[in-house]
């Protein structure tokens, strides 16, 4: 296939889900089955297309980047810059082609699964429409060859995520969660936006190629390496939001309010991985400092969320925190410099995590079904403490779930083993290269690997093993329908090593590692991260050790899980209630109190400032505005008539005119004071000044209007009569009518004419 054909296929693949969205959203009431078949078949078509693209790309254009651009906005000849255009477009490189396949696999299988899971939902049609919108936006992120399309798609996946989390918006918790997701993401996006501003201001383009090319030739934003680092970190802020990294990770667990297949697609496999994808895209422009920040944010996130996952009882919450933790892993991997490993883990994780969520969905679906039959509306269908013993009743769900769990725990023969190992080897390499305190990163890496194995097996044991809590309920539970189990089986198959590398313990010789090569850094060498050749060398040396260590910690984790929840050798409750651990348990159970902290500071703070501003606007600014009206009346009628107790306008009026009167008195006194005056003369002048001040204040008090009402009025009437000004000015000057003000203006025009002449 020629490049053009491939690009055209990619373009059609990109736009087809948008068409599906448009058709279903407008016509879902008219087409049969609300259009689920349309969205699903389009996605399977896209899956085939994406596999073709990947195959062609790897076989015929392995080291090429295919691009297509067009001029979106032409600024013409800009003064000081010259011709300026904004070119947008898309590209296919190996990373994009792989990511495209990943998104297509997950999205198509989730479409399929949803046909079963969402059956009979009140907004069934709209659900499929939004899935289409999401897939379109996600393709945009994958295919973008510039920051602009990336940002646009970035926000659009945010929109689809908002719409899908709030799918059951009748529930307050769902609409709250969707709002929270959008706003928290926006905070990250603003950082990314500023990063893009820096790059555009410096290079007048959004294109990755052009920007990286300019950097490589030595140009950096505003000639400063600090700005370059800042740009990198700010762009990473987008990833912090979308990939739920600390400190913006709080939205993802709440996002589990959405339908479970959505959690699998958006909040586990693809959209949340977009942040990781963004870092791979911009990896070349990251300075050593920026990467250091990325590594630590990732490690910290992985650690926090793994500890939280230990204490959760909601099946989806456990998976959500495990997702956050794994995303932290990927980000950490990229941050330490293990570029390929980070992206590799994204790919493998997408498969087994989507599977985990769909498996959880299958369980929840059946729990709902059983609870519904038992007419039980109190028991939580998602609480693992209400489950147990599902192994026999739902064998496909169980076995596939077990495979995913082995993969996420990093057990050999699974895909997770390969990718996790590479990341851990990367952290060890990072430790050896940087030394000292930086060993904390590999330490966290291995510790989290142990925690992951533990809480995942806790989940499996509590859900599937043992006895079910309610014997009547278990009778009603059976395996989910085939549209739901087939996706589970496919994801389980894709969780084995064979698809990524022939060698089950070493991925670096497989096609994936050949295709995804660490890009050359384009930043000035003084701030560049460790050379990728040196780094990969160190990584390679650490590989065996990493494997050994990770297997050990995973084994320990699994063993403790079995000892606690299966063999019951350890009593979980008494551990949780032990003196120090009790506090720690509560801390983890309450998610480190992040939500409470944000609520008390940012949310409450913003609310308070907003209310304060409203008060300021209504009382101070409008007080002054209404006050000026009062002065105008006051000047004519005097304070005597317009004074209102306690009104800011009135007080303001008095203060201003008191000062003004004093000023007049001062001016009079200075004016009549002769040079070299005696004390007596000075006192005289002072007295005259005081009298003038008092007089003028009195004037204001009784009102200028009261004083010379007749005179001015008579004069104006005379002019009006002579000039015949529409007869408007013949009215009283102080009526407060619009006409009077107009007359003032006309009078003003005359005055100005005289003044400027």
Partner 1 sequence: MAFQFLGVGWLSWITFLPIIGMIIVLILPKNARNAIKWTAVGATFLQVVLAMLIYANFNYNLGGINSQEGMQFVEKFKWIDIKGLSWVGRLQVEYFLGVDGVSVPMVILTALISFIAVFASWNIDKALKGYMAMLLLLDTGMMGVFVALDFFLFYVFWEVMLLPMYFLIGIWGGPRREYAAIKFFLYTLAGSVLMLLAMLALYFSVTVVDPATGEKLHTFNMLAMMNPENFEPGSLLAGTGTYMRILAYLALFIGFAIKVPIFPFHTWLPDAHVEAPTAISVILAGVLLKMGTYGLIRISYPMFPELAEKYALPLAILALINIVYGALCAMAQKDFKKLIAYSSVSHMGIVLLGMAALNTQGMIGAVFQMFNHGTITAMLFLIVGVLYDRAHTRDLDEFGGLALTMPKYTGIMTIAFFAALGLPGLSGFVSEAFSFLGAFKVEKLRVITIASTLGIVLTAAYMLWTLQRVFLGKVNERWASLPDVNGREMFTLVPLAIIILVLGIYPSYMLDIMTSSINNLAGIIAKGSSLISVIP
Binding test (CB under 8 A) with partner 1, winner from 21, 151, 212, 404: 151
Single out the segment in contact with partner 1 by CB under 8 A; choices: 42-50, 197-205, 453-461, 466-474.
197-205
Binding test (CB under 8 A) with partner 1, winner from 37, 51, 87, 155: 155
83 is a contact residue toward partner 1 (CB under 8 A): no
**What's the closest the beta carbon of residue 153 comes to partner 1, in angstroms?**
8
Which helix (H) or strand (E) is 562 found in, with range? none
745 is a contact residue toward partner 1 (CB under 8 A): yes
Judge residue 164's burial from the number of C-beta atoms within 10 Å of its C-beta, 0-12 exposed, 13-18 middle, 19 or more buried. buried
687 is a contact residue toward partner 1 (CB under 8 A): no
Q: What's the rounded Cα separation, in Å, for the pair 184 and 603?
A: 11
| Among the listed residues 263, 264, 242, 262, the one whose alpha carbon sits nearest the alpha carbon of residue 131 | 262
**Six-digit token string for 706:** 């009261």
The size of the interface with partner 1 (CB under 8 A), counted in residues, is 59
Rg (CA), the chain: 36
**What's the closest the beta carbon of residue 634 comes to partner 1, in angstroms?**
15
Q: Which residues are paired to 83 by β-bridges? A: 77
Site for partner 1 in 587-606 (CB under 8 A): 606
**Six-digit token string for 583:** 């506090």
3-class secondary structure, 75: strand
- HSE, CB side, 13 Å, CA atoms: give it for residue 315: 30
707 is a contact residue toward partner 1 (CB under 8 A): no
Q: Specify the residue for token string 């996706």.
A: 487
3-class secondary structure, 381: coil
Single out the segment in contact with partner 1 by CB under 8 A; choices: 98-106, 198-206, 690-698, 709-717.
198-206
74 is a contact residue toward partner 1 (CB under 8 A): yes
Single out the segment in contact with partner 1 by CB under 8 A; choices: 148-156, 318-326, 328-336, 494-502.
148-156
- In sequence order, which ranges of 64-216 are alpha helices (DSSP H)? 94-117, 124-143, 147-165, 172-203, 208-216
Binding test (CB under 8 A) with partner 1, winner from 12, 15, 48, 201: 201
Binding test (CB under 8 A) with partner 1, winner from 198, 302, 387, 699: 198
380 is a contact residue toward partner 1 (CB under 8 A): no
**What's the closest the beta carbon of residue 464 comes to partner 1, in angstroms?**
36
Instruction: Considering the complex, state which of residue 193 and residue 535 has its C-beta at the smaller distance from partner 1.
Output: 193
Cα 450–Cα 451–Cα 456 angle in degrees, nearest 5: 105
| Among the listed residues 417, 405, 421, 415, the one whose alpha carbon sits nearest the alpha carbon of residue 500 | 415
- H/E/C letters for each residue in 16-70? HHHHHHHHHHHHCCCCHHHHHHHHHHHHHHHHHHHHHHHHHHHHHCCCCCEEEEE
Phi and psi at 85, nearest 5°, equal -135, 155
Instruction: Considering the complex, state which of residue 52 and residue 197 has its C-beta at the smaller distance from partner 1.
Output: 197
Instruction: Considering the complex, state which of residue 2 and residue 219 has its C-beta at the smaller distance from partner 1.
Output: 219
Residues near 596 by beta carbon (within 8 Å), at least 6 away in sequence: 590
Distances (CA, A) of 57 to 94, 362, 508, 584: 7, 36, 20, 51
Binding test (CB under 8 A) with partner 1, winner from 32, 63, 76, 120: 76
**What's the closest the beta carbon of residue 594 comes to partner 1, in angstroms?**
18
Binding test (CB under 8 A) with partner 1, winner from 166, 410, 689, 703: 166
> Can you say how many angstroms the Cα of residue 676 is from the centroid of all Cα atoms in its chain?
75
**Residue 383 per-residue DSSP state:** B
Instruction: Considering the complex, state which of residue 207 and residue 532 has its C-beta at the smaller distance from partner 1.
Output: 207
644 is a contact residue toward partner 1 (CB under 8 A): no
Single out the segment in contact with partner 1 by CB under 8 A; choices: 357-365, 398-406, 443-451, 610-618.
610-618
559 is a contact residue toward partner 1 (CB under 8 A): no
Single out the segment in contact with partner 1 by CB under 8 A; choices: 193-201, 271-279, 442-450, 647-655.
193-201
288 is a contact residue toward partner 1 (CB under 8 A): no
| Among the listed residues 289, 305, 277, 260, the one whose alpha carbon sits nearest the alpha carbon of residue 143 | 277
Single out the segment in contact with partner 1 by CB under 8 A; choices: 48-56, 196-204, 267-275, 708-716.
196-204
Site for partner 1 in 171-190 (CB under 8 A): 172, 175-176, 179, 182-183, 186-187, 189-190
**What's the closest the beta carbon of residue 87 comes to partner 1, in angstroms?**
12
**What's the closest the beta carbon of residue 630 comes to partner 1, in angstroms?**
13
Instruction: Considering the complex, state which of residue 129 and residue 441 has its C-beta at the smaller distance from partner 1.
Output: 129
Single out the segment in contact with partner 1 by CB under 8 A; choices: 151-159, 351-359, 482-490, 675-683.
151-159
- HSE, CB side, 13 Å, CA atoms: give it for residue 435: 1
**What's the closest the beta carbon of residue 613 comes to partner 1, in angstroms?**
5
**What's the closest the beta carbon of residue 279 comes to partner 1, in angstroms?**
21
Which helix (H) or strand (E) is 552 found in, with range? helix 532-561
Single out the segment in contact with partner 1 by CB under 8 A; choices: 49-57, 349-357, 609-617, 715-723.
609-617
394 is a contact residue toward partner 1 (CB under 8 A): no
Instruction: Considering the complex, state which of residue 221 and residue 703 has its C-beta at the smaller distance from partner 1.
Output: 221
726 is a contact residue toward partner 1 (CB under 8 A): no
Binding test (CB under 8 A) with partner 1, winner from 77, 533, 580, 679: 77
**What's the closest the beta carbon of residue 114 comes to partner 1, in angstroms?**
21
Instruction: Considering the complex, state which of residue 84 and residue 392 has its C-beta at the smaller distance from partner 1.
Output: 84
Residues near 729 by beta carbon (within 8 Å), at least 6 away in sequence: 716, 717, 719, 720, 739, 740, 743, 746, 747
Binding test (CB under 8 A) with partner 1, winner from 471, 579, 724, 756: 756
Q: Are 416 and 495 in contact (CB under 8 A)?
A: yes
Binding test (CB under 8 A) with partner 1, winner from 617, 659, 715, 721: 617
**Residue 414 per-residue DSSP state:** B
Binding test (CB under 8 A) with partner 1, winner from 545, 609, 683, 715: 609
722 is a contact residue toward partner 1 (CB under 8 A): no
80 is a contact residue toward partner 1 (CB under 8 A): yes
Phi and psi at 441, nearest 5°, equal -65, -50
Q: What's the rounded Cα separation, in Å, for the pair 167 and 144?
A: 28
Site for partner 1 in 87-146 (CB under 8 A): none
Region of residue 677 (phi > 0: left; psi between -120 and 50: alpha; otherwise: beta): beta
Region of residue 604 (phi > 0: left; psi between -120 and 50: alpha; otherwise: beta): alpha
**Six-digit token string for 343:** 């992206």
Instruction: Considering the complex, state which of residue 144 and residue 539 has its C-beta at the smaller distance from partner 1.
Output: 144
- H/E/C letters for each residue in 720-747? HHHHCCCCCCCCCHHHCCHHHHHHHHHH
Cis peptide before 247 (omega within 30 of 0): yes
Binding test (CB under 8 A) with partner 1, winner from 32, 63, 79, 526: 79
**Six-digit token string for 463:** 């859900």
Binding test (CB under 8 A) with partner 1, winner from 32, 59, 63, 170: 170
Q: Which residues bind partner 1 (CB under 8 A)?
A: 72-81, 84, 151-153, 155-156, 159, 162, 166, 169-170, 172, 175-176, 179, 182-183, 186-187, 189-190, 193-194, 197-198, 200-201, 606-607, 609-611, 613-614, 617, 621-622, 625, 629, 738, 741, 745, 748-749, 752-754, 756-757
């Amino acid at each position: 296939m020629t490049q053009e054909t491939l690009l055209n296929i990619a373009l059609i693949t990109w736009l087809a889900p948008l068409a599906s969205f448009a058709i279903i959203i407008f016509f879902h009431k008219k087409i049969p089955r609300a259009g689920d078949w349309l969205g699903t078949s389009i996605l399977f078509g896209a899956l085939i297309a994406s596999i073709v693209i990947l195959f062609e790309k790897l076989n015929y254009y392995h080291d090429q980047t295919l691009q297509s651009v067009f001029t979106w906005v032409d600024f013409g000849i800009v003064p000081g810059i010259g011709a300026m255009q904004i070119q947008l477009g898309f590209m296919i490189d190996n990373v994009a082609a792989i990511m495209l396949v990943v998104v297509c696999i997950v999205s198509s299988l989730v479409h399929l699964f949803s046909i079963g899971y969402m059956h009979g939902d009140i907004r069934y049609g709209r659900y499929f429409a939004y899935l289409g919108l999401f897939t379109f936006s996600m393709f945009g992120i994958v295919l973008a060859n510039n920051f602009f399309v990336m940002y646009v798609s970035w926000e659009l996946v945010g929109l689809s995520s908002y719409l899908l989390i709030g799918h059951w918006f009748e529930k307050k918790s769902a609409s709250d969660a969707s709002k929270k997701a959008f706003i928290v993401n926006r905070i990250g996006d603003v950082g990314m936006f500023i990063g893009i501003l820096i790059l555009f201001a410096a290079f007048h383009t959004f294109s990755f190629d052009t920007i990286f090319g300019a950097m490589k030739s030595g140009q950096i934003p505003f000639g400063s390496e600090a700005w370059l680092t800042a740009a990198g970190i700010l762009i990473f802020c987008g990833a912090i939001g979308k990939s739920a990294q600390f400190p913006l990770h709080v939205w993802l667990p709440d996002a589990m309010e959405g339908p479970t297949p959505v959690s699998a697609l958006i909040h586990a496999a693809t959209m949340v991985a977009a942040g990781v994808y963004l870092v791979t895209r911009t990896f070349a422009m990251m300075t050593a400092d920026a990467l250091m920040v990325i590594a630590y944010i990732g490690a910290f996130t992985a650690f926090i969320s793994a500890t939280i996952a230990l204490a959760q009882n909601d099946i989806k919450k456990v998976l959500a925190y495990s997702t956050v933790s794994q995303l932290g892993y990927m980000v950490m991997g990229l941050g330490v410099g293990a570029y390929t490993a980070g992206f590799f883990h994204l790919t493998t994780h997408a498969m087994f995590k989507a599977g985990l969520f769909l498996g959880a969905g299958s369980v929840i679906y059946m729990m709902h079904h059983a609870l519904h039959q038992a007419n039980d509306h109190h028991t939580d269908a998602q609480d693992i403490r209400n489950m147990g013993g599902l192994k026999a009743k739902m064998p496909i769900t169980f076995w596939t779930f077990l495979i995913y769990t082995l993969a996420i725990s990093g057990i050999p023969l699974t895909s997770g083993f390969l990718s996790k190992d590479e990341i851990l080897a990367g952290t060890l390499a990072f430790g050896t290269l940087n030394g000292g305190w930086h060993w904390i990163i590999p330490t966290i890496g291995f510790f989290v690997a142990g925690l992951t194995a533990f809480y995942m097996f806790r989940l499996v044991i509590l859900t599937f093993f043992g006895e079910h809590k309610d014997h009547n309920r278990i009778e009603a539970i059976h395996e989910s329908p085939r549209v739901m189990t087939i996706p589970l089986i496919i994801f389980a198959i894709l969780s084995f090593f064979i698809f990524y590398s022939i060698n089950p313990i070493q991925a670096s010789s497989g096609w994936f590692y050949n295709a995804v090569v660490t890009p050359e850094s384009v930043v000035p060498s003084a701030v560049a991260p460790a050379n990728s050749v040196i780094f990969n060398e160190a990584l390679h040396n650490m590989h065996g050790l990493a494997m050994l260590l990770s297997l050990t910690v995973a084994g320990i984790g699994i063993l403790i899980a079995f000892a606690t929840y299966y063999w019951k050798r350890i009593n979980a409750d008494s551990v949780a209630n032990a003196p120090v651990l009790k506090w720690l348990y509560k801390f983890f159970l309450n998610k480190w109190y992040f939500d409470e902290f944000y609520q008390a500071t940012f949310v409450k703070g913003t609310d308070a400032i907003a209310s304060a501003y409203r008060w300021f606007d209504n009382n101070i600014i409008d007080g002054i505005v209404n006050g000026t009206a009062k002065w105008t009346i006051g000047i004519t009628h005097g304070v005597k008539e317009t004074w209102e107790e306690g009104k800011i306008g009135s007080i303001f009026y008095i203060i201003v005119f008191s000062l003004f009167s004093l000023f007049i008195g001062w001016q009079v006194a200075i004016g009549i004071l002769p040079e070299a005056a005696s004390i007596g003369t000075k006192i005289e002048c002072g007295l005259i000044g005081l009298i003038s001040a008092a007089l003028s204040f009195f004037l204001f008090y009784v009102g200028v209007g009261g004083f010379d009402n007749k005179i001015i009025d008579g004069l104006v009437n005379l002019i009006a009569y002579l000039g015949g000004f529409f007869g408007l000015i013949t009215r009283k000057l102080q009526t407060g009518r619009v006409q009077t003000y107009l007359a003032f203006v006309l009078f003003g025009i005359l005055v100005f004419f005289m003044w400027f002449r």
